[in-house]
Structure 1
Amino acid sequence: MASLFNIGGAVIKKYTVDTPYPVGPVHFYVKEYDDFLVLFDTGPNTNHAKEFLKQSIDLSKLKYLFVTHCHADHYGLIQFIKENSDAEIFISKYDLFRLYNLDLRIKAMSRILKEIGMADTTIEKIIGVLCMFAKEVPVPDGIRVLEEADDILEDLKISYVRCPGHSQSDIVYLLDGKAITGDVFLNGIFQTPLLDIDADYEDDRFINYLYFCDTIKKMKELEKKYEFLPGHRDYIDSVDERVKFYVSKMCERMVSLKKYLKLGDILKALKTIIPEPDAEPFKTYIKLSEILFFKDFYENPKLLLDSLKDAKIVIDNKDIMMCTD
């Protein structure tokens, strides 16, 4: 399925393709220049997505690919594009760190999980999930660093803003009055802030919550000038409503976890949701990521309250206070 966004003669096309993931169909976007195309994200690494991509765009005209973040539904076809076009591929330096430092990430993640009190068998299975993610998408040689592409971006009249929270590498691309937002603040989806190590410090956990609070302010400012084009579903309301949804969903999920967060017992909090983590390593990883985000929020709710105040987003603070008292 395709849609057109026409601003002042500049055409951006949105394409939607199914994914095998719980998040559902994903969008990728194409900007048409006079004699070449620029692609934003790719869809997943499936045969259906490959055929859809080939039928949707003329790969012989594809000159650049820019990725919002390296999760499989958004960058899954970069190897396919490398093999079937002459496109230059750009991703954030933070994703490059993730892709090329798996051994370092495994070592640091194992330590983080050990500190939580997780059993060795569970750690092994969660690390197995991370390795599966890493192998799910073949990554070609010659990928270029987005943060080193200023000249090309200037020529294309494209800019970008880092908006971490869901991951460390979330990029929002800005062009023609549009903001291609990837997985930043999706409609009706609490997009899990995924547990990973910090690429800037390598041995530490990336604190999604800290950056989420800053991203609220960034997105609120972007909303004044740009129409948002999300990675999933439609962006039918506002940053205010998206943030209210995230905060309310977070507080709702924290109700049964608060007593464990107060004690700093992450493992017990996890086991109220997944009694046998060994049996469900993928779900364990997802829920553990959420719980650590909740922990950081519980320990410093003022950070979120200050961010909401700065962004002039009015929210009922009673929910926040009830889940952090």
Structure 2
Amino acid sequence: MGGRNTEVRYICPTAYDSSVYLVNGKILIDAGMSSDLIIKQLEKYIKLTDLKLIILTHCHYDHTAAAAIIAEKSGAEIGIHKADLQGVNDEYLSVSVLFGDRAPAVKPTITYEEGDKIDIGNGEQLEVIHTPGHSQGSICLYEPVSKSLFSGDTVFPGGGFGRMDFDGSEPEKMLSSVEKLIKIDVKTLYSGHGAPADRDGNNQIMASYRMLRMMMGV
């Protein structure tokens, strides 16, 4: 699945893990929790050592817990937005307590900020869009050639959006975060949970925006 060039493999090991996306055979977006299952899936498509970078869309345990083992076995670097760098190792900000576990021992080596461009090969880049709300350092990643948006837990297909009742959530920032997303041209929406929506991404995001406005009474 993907656009004109971008090759995206969708991996969902269990119902509780985040969605995991292998992009162009060398970039992983989010890492889920079940490292053995995810590595087994990855090895269907690539040699594990071909993996160069794991980008975490935010610091929550269900997206990050497997990252340390995958990075150790592949040699990949790990990147996260600078506002979630501390949270990834904090059992409350990472919400690992909700999973009955300690915070993962993930050690990101790269930090991102709004507007950063991440080279993913094939002449393509992911643009970092800082979308606080679900967590302080939540990001979405936009690839303009295929019009793909990796939205983490900011928005989901069908009008959904991320919970805002966790430690580190910033509900007052969520609306302006989603407003950023309705301004870009999105065909395929790859969200942090559930299968990708490979048509009318813009309509999906607009539905999330409307639902959010309704919930907030604005």
* TM-score normalised according to structure 1 size: 0.54
Counterpart secondary structure, 2:7: strand
- 1:35-114 maps to which residues of 2 (within 5 A)? 37-45=26-34, 47-100=36-89, 102=90
Which position in structure 2 is the counterpart of 1:214? Answer: 176
RMSD of equivalent CA atoms: 3.3
**Does the CA-based 8 Å contact 1:19-1:73 persist in structure 2?**
no
Q: Identity over the aligned pairs, expressed in percent?
A: 24
Structure with the bigger percentage of strand: 2
Which position in structure 1 is the counterpart of 2:193? Answer: 232
* Structure-2 separation of matches of 1:217 and 1:86: 36
Structure 1 unaligned residues grouped into runs of 5+: 107-126, 198-205, 251-296, 306-325
Which position in structure 1 is the counterpart of 2:210? Answer: 244
Which position in structure 2 is the counterpart of 1:30? Answer: 22
Which position in structure 2 is the counterpart of 1:196? Answer: 167
1:245/1:130 CA distance change after superposition, 3 Å: same
Listed one character per residue, the Cα deviations across residues 186-231 of structure 1 (whole Å, up to 9, x for unaligned) are: 135453113324xxxxxxxx5x222112013101102x35532222
- Look up the equivalent residue of 2:112 and give its one-letter code: L
1:152/1:214 CA distance change after superposition, 3 Å: closer
Structure 2 unaligned residues grouped into runs of 5+: none
* Structure-2 separation of matches of 1:94 and 1:28: 22
1:186 to 149, 153, 156: 156
Which position in structure 2 is the counterpart of 1:168? Answer: 136
Which position in structure 1 is the counterpart of 2:9? Answer: 14
* TM-score normalised according to structure 2 size: 0.76
Number of aligned residue pairs: give it: 207
Cα distance, 1:57 vs structure 2: 3.4
1:75/1:131 CA distance change after superposition, 3 Å: closer
1:145 to 104, 111, 115: 111
Cα distance, 1:65 vs structure 2: 1.6
1:227/1:37 CA distance change after superposition, 3 Å: same
* Structure-1 separation of matches of 2:130 and 2:97: 26
Counterpart secondary structure, 2:166: coil
Cα distance, 1:150 vs structure 2: 4.8
**Does the CA-based 8 Å contact 2:96-2:103 persist in structure 1?**
no
Cα distance, 1:48 vs structure 2: 2.8
Q: From the CA coordinates, give the structure whose radius of gyration is larger.
A: 1
* Structure-2 separation of matches of 1:193 and 1:95: 15
Which position in structure 2 is the counterpart of 1:129? Answer: 97
1:71/1:97 CA distance change after superposition, 3 Å: same
Task: Give runs of ≥4 in structure 1 deviating > 4 Å.
Answer: 130-133, 148-156
Listed one character per residue, the Cα deviations across residues 249-291 of structure 1 (whole Å, up to 9, x for unaligned) are: x4xxxxxxxxxxxxxxxxxxxxxxxxxxxxxxxxxxxxxxxxx
Higher relative contact order by CA 8 Å / sep ≥ 6: 1 or 2? 2
* Structure-1 separation of matches of 2:23 and 2:193: 18
Structure with the bigger percentage of helix: 1
- 1:268-283 maps to which residues of 2 (within 5 A)? none
Query: Is it true that 1:158 corresponds to 2:120 in the alignment?
Result: no
